[in-house]
Chain A
Amino acid sequence: MPKVLIPTPLRQFTSKQDAVTVSGATVGEALAALTAQHPDLRKQIFTEEGKVRSFVNVYLNDEDIRYLRKSDTAVKESDTISLVPSIAGGSALATPSEAQPLSKDEILRYSRHLIIPEVGIEGQQKLKAAKVLLIGAGGLGAPLGLYLAAAGVGRLGMVDFDVVDFTNLQRQVIHSTADVGRKKLDSAAAKMQAINPHIEIVKHETALSSENALDILKDYDIVVDGTDNFPTRYLVNDACVLLGKPNVYGSIFRFEGQATIFAYQGGPCYRCLYPEPPPPGLVPSCAEGGVLGILPGTVGLIQATETVKLILGIGEPLVGRLLLYDALGLRFRELKLRRNPECPVCGDHPTVTKLIDYQQFCGIPHAQPAQETQMNSGEIDVTEVKAKLDRGDNFVLIDVREPHEYRICNIPAAKLVPLGEFPRRVGEFDPNAEIVIHCKMGGRSAKACAVLRQAGFLNVRNMTGGILAWADKVDPTVPKY
């Protein structure tokens, strides 16, 4: 039968036994059996309402049952249940949240929060004392910034180095049309401050890197990851694990989103879920694959909800659960996540103890200066392609984008062969012909060039920068997307 280890001071209630064997199929049943055998223990472990006292953590072997199935966690014959108090403290007379009184204006502003018993004045003061860092002021950062500012999070930091672009406006609702060309940080901060002048907004105008991440993150309580690329995602994860800060994670693609909290007290981290990054180019970004504009609203607000819950210490945090959202089916699913004891960052014997080179980890070559790329013999500039077309040179121009992209804009002389069909259609082309391939930005066409070269084609070149470069340098009437 499973046994419950009795902490020393409680042995006076168990006839001095240091362990009690109990019956029961779950932790809840086992504890009920324990207190039935030793009724004086009941008051020590449970409140009058029958809830486990707030200072008691229940462990099944080495794991906190909060991260298992709580009191429904199944117990085996050989299992050991431990009662471990949570203990903290310090000379601080009051926690920071208790030292932040609300002004009369703030009480009026937050009245709909204050009248919820779970929030109240105390909760609103916690929000005011909270320091939250948003990584990215884009699709996810937009709803996060707006709502967390409105909710009264006292200090909101934002990391971004981009400027607002027309293609952002379909989803990044914190920016308006007049902001195109403006720094995203300035545009976002202006909207947030307009919503709530009582909060402090800290702008970190930089690309988060292994050099600056720890320094930026260390001053915040919670980090919210709204990035769209793998190197930064791993960087944010590792920095959060190293600093012991929860990482409220969200990601989006087309009609699907994911959210969870990583690096939260004993919970899993991003590397427990994805130990290795996908090969570069396998998972398309939103710029390549597209995204339903409303999707980041849904996912960003799930992240905002979890952030506020963490600050208030209420509800059940999305820890150890990966929430999957499918907008087309309008369904939410959950996958269980467990901390991997072998995880190189958050495992029992971590091998990554400082930040690494995340570009290299994700197999992405460091950005080369544009000129160097153009001098690469496998590349051809859009202006040269235009000149060849004008001269009537004998060459084949291939567009490897998808048909729905071709319908948005195209170069009429180009033949459409989507990348997915490319390998089996290689036979359509003459290995001795001069071939130029393009796509939207140059990534997919580079892969198509590699396919042809491998098949023995000698004269194959990639049109640098794709049709976007064509629109910039050759034909401004071509719409960019």
Chain B
Amino acid sequence: MIHIESEPWRAMLSHARATYPNECCGAMLGVIDGDTKTVSEAMALENAFAGAQAARYELRPEDLLAADKAARERKMDLIGIYHSHPDCDAYFSQTDLKNSCPWYSFVVLSIREGQFHHANSWLPNFDQTEAAKEELKYE
């Protein structure tokens, strides 16, 4: 189960609204306790996809490395990655799957006409062939 606290959750939504109609992306930091992941900080990262960003995003490995470093410095864990799907559902697309990694939770925010609609969290498998839905709670 992944639980996103209200402050990071609000930050993620406002980030997704700000980049609409383009996709946004970022890292989620917090603590992992057994099966429960608690996100206490959202870190907005740049969408580095070279091309139309309405339906694509790309994280620079350097930015992810920096997010991991920031988490270590604050005694937190890098728990997952979030990104938005403007004007479509929060499914885990083939594009998402093929460019994912089984180590992290992937939270997808559906933004319709600039407003938050719904969200899902996904756990991709090793071979990047499918992703399981993870229970998501937010405040």
Interface check A276, CB cutoff 8 A: no
* CB-CB under 8 A for A88 and B59, given A59-B65, A244-B50: yes
Cα–Cα, bound, A8→B67 (Å)? 12
* CB-CB under 8 A for A91 and B103, given A8-B77, A244-B48: no
Interface check A102, CB cutoff 8 A: no
Interface check A84, CB cutoff 8 A: yes
Cα–Cα, bound, A18→B57 (Å)? 29
Contact pattern, B 81-92, Cβ under 8 Å of A = 1, otherwise 0: 101011010010
Report whether A7 and B78 are in contact in the complex, using a CB–CB cutoff of 8 Å: yes
Interface check A94, CB cutoff 8 A: yes
Cα–Cα, bound, A426→B108 (Å)? 77
Task: Find residues 93-113 in chain B having any chain A CB closer than 8 Å to their own CB.
Answer: 93-104, 106
Interface check B128, CB cutoff 8 A: yes
* CB-CB under 8 A for A7 and B65, given A89-B57, A89-B96: no
Contact pattern, B 27-60, Cβ under 8 Å of A = 1, otherwise 0: 0000010000000000000001111000111110
Q: Within 8 Å CB of A56, what residues of B?
A: 101
Report whether A85 and B72 are in contact in the complex, using a CB–CB cutoff of 8 Å: no
Interface check B79, CB cutoff 8 A: yes
Interface check A87, CB cutoff 8 A: yes
Report whether A87 and B68 are in contact in the complex, using a CB–CB cutoff of 8 Å: no
Interface check A93, CB cutoff 8 A: yes
Report whether A245 and B50 are in contact in the complex, using a CB–CB cutoff of 8 Å: yes
Q: Within 8 Å CB of B99, what residues of A?
A: 55, 86-89
Cα–Cα, bound, A132→B85 (Å)? 28
Report whether B103 and A90 are in contact in the complex, using a CB–CB cutoff of 8 Å: no
Cα–Cα, bound, A64→B104 (Å)? 21
Q: Within 8 Å CB of B50, what residues of A?
A: 243-245
Report whether B64 and A85 are in contact in the complex, using a CB–CB cutoff of 8 Å: yes
Among A59, A84, A92, which residue has its beta carbon within 8 angstroms of that of B93? A92
Cα–Cα, bound, A90→B21 (Å)? 12
Among B61, B68, B98, B128, which residue has its beta carbon within 8 angstroms of that of A64? B61
Q: Within 8 Å CB of A95, what residues of B?
A: 94-95, 98
B120 to chain A, nearest CB (A): 12
Cα–Cα, bound, A87→B92 (Å)? 13
B106 to chain A, nearest CB (A): 8
A-B pair count, CB < 8 Å, reads: 108
Report whether B65 and A94 are in contact in the complex, using a CB–CB cutoff of 8 Å: no
Task: Find residues 6-48 in chain A having any chain B CB closer than 8 Å to their own CB.
Answer: 7-10, 18, 43-44
Which of chain A's residues has its CB closest to B92's CB?
A89
Report whether A8 and B95 are in contact in the complex, using a CB–CB cutoff of 8 Å: no
Contact pattern, A 89-112, Cβ under 8 Å of B = 1, otherwise 0: 111111100100000000000000
Size of B's binding interface in residues, CB under 8 A: 42
Q: Within 8 Å CB of A87, what residues of B?
A: 58-59, 64, 81, 99-101, 104
A363 to chain B, nearest CB (A): 32
Contact pattern, A 224-261, Cβ under 8 Å of B = 1, otherwise 0: 00000000000000000001110000000000000000
Q: Within 8 Å CB of B62, what residues of A?
A: 62, 266
Of residues A7, A10, A90, which shows the largest number of chain B Cβ atoms within 10 Å of its Cβ? A90
Q: Within 8 Å CB of A55, what residues of B?
A: 99-101, 128
Q: Within 8 Å CB of A266, what residues of B?
A: 62
A343 to chain B, nearest CB (A): 16
Among B51, B61, B128, which residue has its beta carbon within 8 angstroms of that of A57? B61
Report whether A88 and B88 are in contact in the complex, using a CB–CB cutoff of 8 Å: no
Of residues A8, A10, A59, which shows the largest number of chain B Cβ atoms within 10 Å of its Cβ? A8
Interface check A5, CB cutoff 8 A: yes
Among B58, B72, B85, which residue has its beta carbon within 8 angstroms of that of A88? B58
A105 to chain B, nearest CB (A): 27
Interface check B16, CB cutoff 8 A: no
Q: Within 8 Å CB of B48, what residues of A?
A: 244
Q: Within 8 Å CB of A243, what residues of B?
A: 50
Interface check A82, CB cutoff 8 A: yes
Contact pattern, A 424-446, Cβ under 8 Å of B = 1, otherwise 0: 00000000000000000000000
* CB-CB under 8 A for A89 and B68, given A55-B100, A57-B61: no
Q: Within 8 Å CB of A82, what residues of B?
A: 65, 68
Interface check B71, CB cutoff 8 A: yes
Q: Within 8 Å CB of B128, what residues of A?
A: 55
Which of chain B's residues has its CB closest to A7's CB?
B103
Cα–Cα, bound, A87→B79 (Å)? 14
Report whether A90 and B59 are in contact in the complex, using a CB–CB cutoff of 8 Å: no
Report whether A89 and B32 are in contact in the complex, using a CB–CB cutoff of 8 Å: no
B9 to chain A, nearest CB (A): 20
Report whether A86 and B61 are in contact in the complex, using a CB–CB cutoff of 8 Å: yes
Closest 8 CB pairs of A and B: A89-B96, A85-B101, A90-B56, A8-B77, A88-B99, A91-B85, A244-B50, A88-B58
Binding site for B on A (CB under 8 A): 5, 7-10, 18, 43-44, 53, 55-57, 59, 62, 64, 82, 84-95, 98, 221, 243-245, 266
> Can you identify 6 A-B contacts, CB atoms within 8 angstroms?
A8-B77, A10-B103, A44-B102, A89-B57, A90-B85, A92-B95
Using A92-B55, A94-B94 as known contacts, list a sample of 14 further A-B pairs with CB atoms less than 8 Å apart, ordered by residue number in A. A7-B103, A44-B102, A44-B103, A59-B65, A64-B61, A84-B64, A86-B99, A90-B93, A91-B85, A91-B91, A91-B93, A91-B95, A94-B95, A95-B95
